[in-house]
């Protein structure tokens, strides 16, 4: 059975712990992260991931999905905590918090844990700084049936509340890995895998490019793009034609366009 308790004061140590998970430094120390909302936590449960701690607002409306979530936490021996909505707002940093949040253990993000044969396409992002873009790429990966998202070099924290929220639950369905470039490239070359860069350097039109599975589609930093040396190491460089005044798409949008085209050309 889950351990249950009710928090009534803002100064409770548990409230301070939960609030600390909004800070990357404390997330890394505790190896835990927060996720908010019944839909997101339900996506996690349906993907086989249950929070270690379920935090709920007192006076919330009953819901069968919440009952199922409580039962899952119970079965896993987790903890269920209730607190006033005002205290929960302090935890989440939102004036109108969702009625439920969960504390999850961070996943194993080593590149060596990735099974490249698990899917025909994978998304790769280098130095992606915006947590919204990161979450959107996870969501895109889920939509196209990608194996997951590989983050290269210094990216936004995928376990931040903003990135988790933007993923719309895809952080629980997509494999997530993080690596430096000098670790990722040798791993990729140790087995099958085509590395494709979104690029403006001698590229092929993305609509006629010869994609091969497993295909690793890589986009770069939102403002700088990919380093030239990284692009030169790729098997294929592709571009998306721009018909207006803009010279590029948002990184996450570009990843989505390439993913759907590659999937179609790979015969899915």
- Tens of pLDDT, residue by residue over 174-205, are 999 999 999 999 999 999 999 999 887 778 89
pLDDT at 150: 98
Whether residue 244 is found in the same domain as residue 204: yes
Mean pLDDT over 12-16 rounds to 93
Element (H, E) at 3: strand 3-7
- Asked whether the predicted pLDDT for residue 247 surpasses 60, the reply is no
Residues 186, 256: one domain?
A: yes
- The percent of residues in the chain predicted with pLDDT above 90, rounded, is 70
Does residue 152 register a pLDDT over 90? yes
Question: Do residues 137 and 222 both lie within one domain?
Answer: yes
Q: What CATH number is associated with residue 163? A: 3.40.1280.10
**pLDDT score at 198:** 87
Q: With a cut of 60, say whether residue 218 has pLDDT above it.
A: yes
Res 86: pLDDT: 87
pLDDT at 95: 63
For 10, the domain range is 3-105
* 3-class secondary-structure state, position 9: coil
Q: Which of 83, 105, 127 is the last residue of a domain?
A: 105
- Final residue before a domain boundary, out of 46, 71, 105: 105
How far is it, in rounded angstroms, from Cα 197 to Cα 188?
Answer: 14
* Claim to verify: residue 33 and residue 129 sit in the same structural domain: no
Examine the pLDDT at 263 and tell me if it is beyond 60: yes
Domain boundary among 105, 135, 170: 105
Predicted pLDDT at 127? 95
Asked whether residue 180 falls in the same domain as residue 120, the answer is yes
Q: What angle do CA 157, 36, 63 make, to 5 degrees?
A: 160
pTM score of the predicted model: 0.90
Express each pLDDT in 47-61 by its tens digit.
999 999 999 988 888
The predicted model gives 78-104 an average pLDDT of 84
- Using CA atoms, how far apart are residues 90 and 38, in angstroms rounded to an integer? 18
Residues 117 and 244 in one domain: yes
CATH number of the domain where residue 7 is located: 3.30.1330.30
Assess whether 83 and 116 both reside in one domain: no
Count the domains in the chain. Answer: 2
Q: Are residues 174 and 157 in the same domain?
A: yes
77-81, 128-132, 182-186, 201-205: range with highest mean pLDDT: 182-186
Q: Lowest-confidence range among 12-26, 56-70, 91-105, 191-205?
A: 91-105
Average pLDDT over residues 143-164: 95
Burial 174-196 (b: 16+ CB within 10 A, else e): bbbbbbeeeebbebbeeeebbbb
């Amino acid at each position: 059975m889950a351990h249950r308790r009710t928090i009534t004061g803002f100064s409770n140590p548990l409230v301070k712990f939960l609030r600390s998970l909004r800070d990357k430094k404390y997330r890394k120390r505790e190896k835990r992260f927060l996720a908010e909302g019944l839909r997101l936590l339900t996506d996690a449960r349906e993907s086989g991931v249950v929070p270690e701690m379920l935090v709920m607002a007192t006076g919330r409306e009953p819901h069968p999905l919440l009952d199922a979530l409580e039962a899952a936490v119970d079965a896993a021996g987790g903890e269920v905590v209730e607190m006033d909505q005002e205290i929960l707002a302090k935890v989440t940093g939102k004036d109108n918090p969702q009625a439920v949040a969960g504390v999850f253990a961070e996943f194993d993000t080593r590149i060596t844990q990735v099974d490249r044969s698990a899917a025909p396409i994978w998304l790769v992002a280098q130095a992606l700084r915006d947590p919204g873009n990161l979450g959107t790429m996870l969501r895109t990966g889920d939509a196209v049936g990608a194996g997951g998202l590989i983050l290269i070099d210094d990216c936004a924290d995928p376990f931040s509340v903003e990135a988790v929220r933007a993923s719309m639950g895809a952080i629980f369905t997509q494999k997530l890995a993080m690596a430096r470039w000098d670790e990722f490239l040798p791993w990729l070359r140790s087995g099958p895998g085509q590395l494709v860069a979104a690029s403006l350097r001698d590229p092929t039109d993305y609509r006629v490019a010869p994609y091969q599975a497993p295909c690793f589609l890589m986009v770069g930093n939102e403002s700088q793009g990919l380093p030239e040396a990284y692009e030169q190491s790729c098997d294929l460089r592709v571009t998306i034609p721009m018909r207006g005044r803009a010279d590029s798409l948002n990184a996450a949008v570009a990843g989505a366009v390439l993913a759907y085209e590659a999937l179609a050309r790979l015969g899915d």
